[in-house]
Amino acid sequence: MNAAGHLQQYLTARRTAIDAALLAALPSPPTCPSALADAMRFSISAGGKRLRPILCLASAEAVGGDWRQAMPTTCAIEFIHTYSLIHDDLPAMDNDTMRRGQPTLHVVAGEAMAILAGDGLLTEAFALMAREPREGDASLAARKVRVIEIIAVGAGAAGMVGGQAIDLAFVTLDAKGMLPPPLDAEGLRAMHAKKTGALIRASASAGAVIGGGSIAQIAAIDRAAAEFGLAFQIIDDVLDVEGASADLGKTAGKDAAAGKPTYPALYGLDASKRMARECLDRAAAELGAVQLADSRLLEIGRWIVERTS
């Protein structure tokens, strides 16, 4: 079997474990009201690539850790990613009615329940990281605190939520009814570094911390994941232009139609693809500078750049 085949096997195996762990980690009745539990399960079960969870597990493994110990953190990260999609899809935000090929939660369960389900997933993520794993060496509590900080910073006002706020400013009319000037190249990169990059990066760093990585390993994985995050966003923009709606599970061309700045709009399709490959090269240099247990993180990076959906 070639490398791509081995990676597919790895992704399938880990996704199966992640999906099972996610369902087990979801709050359920009687402690959680059933309508809320149903709403959270609907969005968590809607699938997706599970990119962030896989990066978290693979990072724990790359530093020689046990991926099973990283599973609670992994589930917490996907809870946070899923909450961000739920809130992002709301009528007051992007007003998306389809996501991952299914109707969005506010279409199915109403806007109020979608807000609450998002709030619930975000909060449960931190309960989960504080509670599990239960067993570990004496340094476990200190590593948990560090992971919680990494994830909260990546997901918060300096990270993902901050990126959303920047994005929002570009579709918000000012007092004179005018839109602000479009983002330039540096502004676009900075927005994406927060909006999608920060949580992707935090996922990998958190996995490396839980896996017991050295300072150098954690720093290299963190920087490589920043490159993966940028590559991911560039390819997302490329697929938004090139992809069919069926493959993406959402409406293709939507960003461009909304006048949102994208990499292809700024640089063209070919240069965008080359930029994504350059991210991969820089990530390879980062990962190559430290001793890791396997080369899977880089294979995952290649998959991010070569994906078609």
Q: Where on the chain is the footprint of a copy of itself (CB under 8 A)?
A: 27, 31-33, 35-37, 40, 83-84, 87, 90, 92-93, 110-113, 115-116, 118-120, 122-124, 126-127, 129-131, 141-142, 144-146, 148-149, 152-153, 155-158, 161-162, 164-166, 168-169, 172
Only one residue has tokens 């232009």, namely 241
Tell me the closest approach of the beta carbon of residue 292 to a copy of itself, in angstroms. Answer: 27
Nearer to a copy of itself, 148 or 265 (CB): 148
Tell me the closest approach of the beta carbon of residue 102 to a copy of itself, in angstroms. Answer: 20
Nearer to a copy of itself, 113 or 298 (CB): 113
Alpha-carbon distance values, 260 to 23, 106, 236, 264 (Å): 35, 23, 13, 11
HSE value, Cβ hemisphere, 13 Å, CA-based, for 260? 20
Q: Fill in the amino acid letter for 259.
A: G
Tell me the closest approach of the beta carbon of residue 246 to a copy of itself, in angstroms. Answer: 29
Separation CA 239–CA 248 (nearest Å): 8
Nearer to a copy of itself, 61 or 255 (CB): 255
Nearer to a copy of itself, 164 or 272 (CB): 164
Tokens found for residue 44: 């968590």
Nearer to a copy of itself, 3 or 145 (CB): 145
Q: Report, in angstroms and rounded to the nearest whole number, the Rg of the chain calculated over CA atoms.
A: 19
DSSP assigned state of 253: T
Tell me the closest approach of the beta carbon of residue 41 to a copy of itself, in angstroms. Answer: 11
Only one residue has tokens 């709030």, namely 119
Tell me the closest approach of the beta carbon of residue 9 to a copy of itself, in angstroms. Answer: 35
Tokens found for residue 166: 């920047």
Instruction: Determine contact, residues 18/53, Cβ cutoff 8 Å.
Output: yes
Tell me the closest approach of the beta carbon of residue 268 to a copy of itself, in angstroms. Answer: 29
Nearer to a copy of itself, 10 or 170 (CB): 170
Nearest 5 degrees, angle CA 270-CA 265-CA 233? 75
Separation CA 111–CA 91 (nearest Å): 8
